[in-house]
Structures are given as C-alpha cells and as structure tokens.
Amino acid sequence: MRVHVMDLGIGDRLKNDTFNSYGLHVLSRGTILSSQEISKLLLHQVEYVDIEPKEHIEPETPLLNTYSVDSLQAIKPLFDHSILGTSTLFEEALENGYINDEIVQDTFIPLTNEIKEQRDVVNLLLMLNGKNDYTLQHSIQVGLLSYFIATWMGYAEDEAQLIGKAGYLHDIGKCRIDDAILNKPGRLTDYEFRMMTQHTIHGYEIIRNSIYPYSIAIVALQHHERMDGSGYPYHLLGSNIHPYSKIVGVADVYCAMITERVYQQKRDLLSVLKELHEMSFTKLDPTITHIFISHMIPNFIGKSVLLNSGQTGKIVMTNNSDYFRPLIHLEDHFVDLSMDHSLEIIEIYM
C-alpha cells in the first residue's frame, strides 16, 4: 500500500527498501516506523513509501528495560523511604561525627538497584523533584545521576556504585551548616557564603571518620572545585581534581539547575543542558559533560514542547550538529529548529 510520508503512523512497517532521490539507502524493508524513522524520511525528502497492510503486521514484543509511567511511579515509595532515611543519616552524622553505613545500605543502595535499567533519566529526576527538604532530595538525585554518568563512561558496576555513593554523600557536611544559611531564600552575604563553603570540609572530615574509602571523602571536599580554578574550597585546577569529583560535580550542577526553589525559577530542560555545555569549556570537565549530554538528549524524543510562537508539538529527532535545536512535529507539519532560528523552545512537558 503506497502512502504519503505525512500520512504514516507510528507502528507502520515498510514493505520495501526505501531510497532518496540520490539513490542513497534510507530505511530497510520491514522497518517498524517510529517518529525517528518518519523524521528521517522527511529529512531525505522521501514523499511516498510502501507499507504492509495493518493486518499483516505482527505485534512487536515490548522492548525489555523500557519503563512506563507506571514503572516510574513504582519507584516513588522507595524514594520517599530514602528521603526519611537520608534525614536520619544527616541527623546522626551531626550528632556522632560519622556516617552510619547501615542507613546508606538501607536507603540509597536499594534505590540504585531499582533504577539500573531506567532509560528515561530526565523523567526519573523530575519525578523525584518534590516538596521535600532540598538538601535531602538533592543528595539522592545527585547520587543516582552520578551512578548513571559513571556507567555511561564505562566504569564497572562496582565502581559505578561507589561513585553513586560518593554522589549521595557529597553534601553530608551540610548537616553542620546553620539552617538559617542553608535555607535562606535570597542571596547569601559574604560571611554566609564563606560559612556555606565549609560544608565541603565538614563533609570530608565526617566521611574520613567513617568506614568509607578516601575517594568518597575527596568527592565531598572537591565537588565544588572547577576546571579553571574558580571553585572552592581550594581553587584547584582540573588536573588536580579527582575523577570522581568531576563526575559528581556535573551531576551536582545539573540537579541544582533543574530544581525549582524559592529563589530559582523553573527553566526548560534543554536550556539547562545548553548551559552545562557552555560550562564544559571553562568550569566542568568537557569529556564527562559531553558524555552526560549525549545520553540525556535522546530522553527528550517524544516529549511535548511549547514554542515561542505559541505552537505546541513533539520532539521527534535530535540534531547531531546542534543538540539543542531538534526536529519538532507540529499539528500538520515538521519544523527543524536547526534551520529555523526564529523559533525557540520555551517549555518542555514531561
């Protein structure tokens, strides 16, 4: 059955190999069409294709490890349990001066094991945004994201778990920071900022008093250091920053940016990644940041967007030449933001 590309539907199967006007092979016979494949046909200016009649298409077996909204929601109770456990962890660290590893094993490790196969990391992190205490919620988010980044970089599972744990404990020193400073809704004074920077040293001391390896303590100390020496507490240059600290540093910045707080407005998620990309040339490790972005961007495919024109649509394909200006499917046509610079994404609906 011959069909115009604009009339194709998700799940249609190609009857024949498809070529563009230059004779280049675009898609193979038998391909089950998703929005990405349809976008590819449009980009190659293919107008008509032959598809199998619907009754001839055997239902596909769902992809393993693909999480639905329901599976995301199933993680929520475990996250809520982790929030309570993390609160106890901070309280005991302040009182005793060391970390109770039993609490870590009970609160963070089960959550890490549960999300190992999660693919939509964007939705996962946003779902874990809530009305909880920022420091507690942030600790869990950074731990999970640090674990993901480590696996994307090729670290073995045991080491990725260790890096995730380092991310989880990176802010433990904040248990010693006055709540009036920690939760201040406005800009900190110079004195208050100096006090806040001490959480890195406090965290290092607390972890060194615990049973953890030095690499976890050094992350607590260095996660605010920056490649250009502009960070704190010691203004280290990139070559002197521990690799784990660089990973957690990227996770820490991203999770802080996507969280809506009293003094921080909600921002669209692509602009956050774009800002991280810009920081990779000065403050954040470029290799880690670019690996992180390249794995996050595909999560936006299929998400609904609002454009500055007032139009709404869905992201159907990202552009390798410009991650932040994807192909958008509007109601009756497609628009490539990498070609039309008059249009901008102002909000993404997850």
pLDDT per residue of the chain (350 residues) written in tens, 0 to 9: 888 877 777 788 898 888 888 777 888 888 888 766 787 787 788 888 999 886 554 444 333 334 445 556 678 888 889 999 999 999 999 999 999 999 999 999 998 888 877 667 777 777 777 666 889 999 999 999 999 999 999 999 999 999 999 999 999 999 999 999 998 888 899 999 999 999 999 999 999 999 999 999 999 999 999 999 999 999 999 999 999 999 999 999 999 988 765 445 556 677 889 999 999 999 999 999 999 998 888 888 888 899 999 999 988 887 777 888 888 988 878 888 988 999 988 888 76
> For residues 275 and 260, what is the distance between their CA atoms, to the nearest angstrom?
16
Q: What is the DSSP string of 73-132?
A: HHHHHHHHHHHHHHHHHHHHHHHHSS--HHHHHHHTHHHHHHTTT---HHHHHHHT-SSS
In the chain, % of residues over pLDDT 90: 50
Count of domains observed in the chain = 3
Name the pTM for this structure. Answer: 0.79
Query: Residue 219 in contact with residue 172, Cβ under 8 Å?
Result: no
The tally of CA atoms less than 13 A away on the side-chain side of residue 43 is 22
pLDDT, tens digit, 9 for 90 and up, residues 148-178: 999 999 999 999 999 999 999 999 999 999 9
Q: Verify that 49 and 191 share a domain, yes or no.
A: no
> For residues 311 and 345, what is the distance between their CA atoms, to the nearest angstrom?
10
Q: What is the CATH number of the domain that holds 290?
A: 1.10.3210.10
Query: Residue 218 in contact with residue 162, Cβ under 8 Å?
Result: no
Q: Does residue 329 sit within a domain?
A: yes
The tally of CA atoms less than 13 A away on the side-chain side of residue 194 is 3
Q: Verify that 85 and 153 share a domain, yes or no.
A: yes
Q: Does residue 63 sit within a domain?
A: no
Q: Verify that 98 and 240 share a domain, yes or no.
A: yes
In the chain, % of residues over pLDDT 70: 89
> For residues 310 and 303, what is the distance between their CA atoms, to the nearest angstrom?
16
Q: What is the DSSP string of 182-241?
A: HT-SSPPPHHHHHHHHTHHHHHHHHHHTTTS-HHHHHHHHHTT--TBS-SSSS--BGGGS
Q: What is the DSSP string of 235-290?
A: --BGGGS-HHHHHHHHHHHHHHHHS-BTTB----HHHHHHHHHHHTTTTS-HHHHH
Q: Does residue 322 sit within a domain?
A: yes
* Per-residue model confidence (pLDDT) at position 291: 94
| Burial of residue 286, with CB atoms counted within 10 A of its CB: 0-12 exposed, 13-18 middle, 19 or more buried | middle
Q: Verify that 21 and 42 share a domain, yes or no.
A: yes
* Per-residue model confidence (pLDDT) at position 26: 83
Q: Verify that 321 and 339 share a domain, yes or no.
A: yes
* Per-residue model confidence (pLDDT) at position 60: 43
| DSSP-assigned beta bridge partners for residue 26 | none
Q: Verify that 81 and 185 share a domain, yes or no.
A: yes
Residues 6+ apart with CB under 8 A from 119: 65, 66, 67, 299
Q: Verify that 140 and 250 share a domain, yes or no.
A: yes
| DSSP-assigned beta bridge partners for residue 14 | 51
> For residues 83 and 69, what is the distance between their CA atoms, to the nearest angstrom?
21
Q: Verify that 38 and 95 share a domain, yes or no.
A: no
Q: Verify that 200 and 235 share a domain, yes or no.
A: yes
Query: CA–CA distance from 227 to each of 81, 221, 234, 243, 336 (Å)?
Result: 36, 15, 12, 11, 34
Query: Phi-psi bin for 100: left (phi > 0), alpha (psi -120 to 50), beta?
Result: beta
Q: Verify that 31 and 75 share a domain, yes or no.
A: no
Q: Verify that 291 and 174 share a domain, yes or no.
A: yes
* Per-residue model confidence (pLDDT) at position 70: 58
Backbone angles phi, psi at 167, to 5 degrees: -65, -40
Q: Does residue 61 sit within a domain?
A: no
Q: Does residue 102 sit within a domain?
A: yes
- Give the range of the structural domain holding residue 321, as residue numbers without chain letter: 301-349
* Per-residue model confidence (pLDDT) at position 99: 96
* Per-residue model confidence (pLDDT) at position 65: 37
Out of 297, 320, 341, pick the residue that ends a domain.
297
